[in-house]
């Protein structure tokens, strides 16, 4: 039985709506699946290796040919991939920063998309290897991006849906706390978002 993996990416700690929403989703899931272990990966609290030449070269080197230096470079990536492989439910907290992902969450993505590990090239196309998993996105924003004139400016959800699909995860549900910075909706935004999770 796989576990529940909770990815936290906000730098705001207890003040974060994406963490609040992600925690509520995890609570509801744990109520449904009490035997599942909950694993938390706070990617915002880590010092990631950004993609650079040596890391990319290590990604492309067969396992048997890796040097000790390359193995050390790959430790974070190997750990994050193992977490993904061991989970069958993944909750990803996504604060919308400048219309997109926070940098640590993008770094996490760059560490889980690995040729030969999470995606293979086969018959002229790419085949994702992380199949059979369920993802919940917990997106938080001060504006409203699920509908209306700002919808085209949410680049986070479309990107995550695409890149997760690339590694084989297509069962994705999104919950939002949005409008927390708008005078017309800020009083009800958090409660509305948390209440929507009760449907899980």
Q: Which of 115, 109, 116 is nearest to 135 (CA)?
A: 109
pLDDT tens profile 112-129:
999 999 999 888 899 999
Give the lowest-confidence range in 60-64, 93-97, 106-110: 60-64
pLDDT of residue 109: 97
Identify the weakest region by mean pLDDT among 44-58, 134-148, 157-171, 180-194.
Answer: 44-58
User: What is the per-residue pLDDT for 83?
Assistant: 97
Mean pLDDT rounded to a whole number for the chain: 96
pLDDT given for residue 45 in this prediction: 85
Q: Mean pLDDT throughout 140-148?
A: 97
Split at pLDDT 50, 70, 90, the class of 26 is very high
* CA dist 9 → 18, 67, 97, 105, 184 (Å): 8, 31, 11, 6, 27
Spatial distance between the Cα atoms of 114 and 118, rounded to a whole number of angstroms = 5
CA–CA distance, 134 with 146 (Å, rounded to integer) = 21
pLDDT of residue 185: 96
Q: How far apart, in whole angstroms, are the C-alpha atoms of residue 195 and residue 176?
A: 10
pLDDT confidence of residue 199 = 85
Asked if 153 and 145 touch (Cβ cutoff 8 Å), the reply is yes
**Whole-prediction pTM:** 0.95
Q: What is the CA radius of gyration of the chain?
A: 18
Alpha carbons 90 and 160: distance in angstroms, whole number: 13
Contact predicate 92/136, CB 8 Å: yes
Q: What's the pLDDT at 122? A: 85
pLDDT (tens digit per residue) in 35-91 = 999 999 999 988 888 999 999 999 999 999 999 999 999 999 999 999 999 999 999
Q: Give the side-chain half-sphere CA count within 13 A for 4.
A: 20
Angle between helices 75-86 and 103-112 (to 10 degrees): 80
Q: Are 116 and 78 in contact (CB under 8 A)?
A: no
């Amino acid at each position: 039985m796989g576990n529940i993996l909770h990815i936290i990416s906000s730098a705001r700690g207890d003040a974060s709506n994406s963490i609040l929403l992600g925690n509520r989703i995890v609570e509801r899931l744990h109520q449904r699946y009490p035997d599942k272990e909950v694993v938390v990966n706070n990617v915002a609290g880590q010092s990631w290796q950004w993609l650079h030449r040596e890391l990319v070269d290590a990604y492309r080197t067969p396992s048997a040919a890796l040097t000790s230096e390359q193995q050390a470079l790959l430790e974070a990536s190997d750990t994050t991939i193992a977490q993904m492989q061991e989970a069958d439910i993944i909750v990803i907290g996504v604060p919308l920063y400048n219309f997109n992902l926070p940098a640590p969450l993008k770094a996490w993505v760059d560490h889980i998309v690995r040729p030969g590990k999470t995606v293979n090239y086969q018959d002229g196309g790419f085949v994702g290897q992380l199949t059979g998993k369920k993802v919940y996105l917990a997106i938080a924003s001060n504006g409203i991006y699920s509908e209306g004139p700002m919808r085209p400016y949410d680049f986070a959800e479309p990107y995550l849906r695409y890149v997760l699909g690339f590694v084989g995860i297509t069962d994705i549900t999104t919950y939002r706390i949005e409008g927390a910075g708008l005078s017309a909706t800020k009083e009800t935004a958090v409660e509305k978002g948390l209440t929507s999770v009760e449907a899980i």
